[in-house]
Amino acid sequence: MLDRAVAEALRATSTGTITTILLKKGIRRSWMHGPRPAFAAESRVVGRAFTLRFVPAREDLATPQAWSSPTSTRGAIEAMPEGVIAVVDAMGIPGAGIFGDILCARMRKRGVAALVTDGALRDATGVEATGLPVWCAGVAAPASVASLTFVGWNEPVGCGGVAVFPEDVIVADRDGAVVIPAALVEEVARLGPEQELIELWIMKEVERGVPLPGLYPPNAETKARYEAERRS
């Protein structure tokens, strides 16, 4: 479970700010290509990654009977702890819905914070009704077995061109979903809210008519003025 103070700090930090902080730390790939806010995704969500992985469909494995296998999406959902964000590697395939309304309803019931995938969902009306926050690449009527084979959970995956490991932290908002490597979570949580504060101050300066050079990014003089106003 993610520390409450860390979660609150990240919830106060936009994904745009997080990508900038990570870029300064040498992490260039943090924003996932494909997942977009789709269902109940108006608010920012934060949680540890619980990963799931699909591979291309193989005819002897990608069958409706596979849904009853111990290695199934159903089994993965029952293993999800409360508060996690399910991150599903669907290889960016748009023609098969990896989950539908029933599976999303079960995740919601188990306290899963959100679902993020570079694939599609099905049963759009029903998924919306569950209230589960979802970031996905679209919707598709066919079931997952039309194009994909589910192979496991809680292992490293690639989602939207980004490597995601179990215990990494996901933050998702209107700009998409980003992954914070586990080792950098506390530092990003420390730096994020402060960056949001200074950018809020800079926006007020822009509204006052202050020119951008030296203001954004702030030079030493601007930083000194910001600190002085904060103290006052």
Tens-level pLDDT at each residue, the chain (232 residues): 799 999 999 999 999 999 999 999 999 999 999 999 999 999 999 999 999 999 998 877 757 776 666 679 999 999 999 999 999 999 999 999 999 999 999 999 999 999 999 999 999 999 999 999 999 999 999 999 889 999 999 999 999 999 999 999 999 999 999 999 999 999 999 999 999 999 999 999 999 999 999 999 999 999 999 999 988 8
pTM (2 d.p.): 0.93
Which tokens belong to 211? 């020119």
For tokens 């700009």, what's the residue? 175
For tokens 């291309």, what's the residue? 56
Q: Cα separations (Å) of 161 from 4, 29, 158?
A: 29, 8, 6
**Beta-ladder partners of 171:** 46, 178
Q: What is the DSSP letter of 81?
A: P
Helices (H) and strands (E) in the chain, counts: 7, 12
Q: Beta strands 162-164 and 157-159: pairing type?
A: antiparallel
Which tokens belong to 121? 């969902």
Domain residue spans in the chain? 4-182, 187-231
CATH number at 4-182: 3.50.30.40
For tokens 């005819």, what's the residue? 59
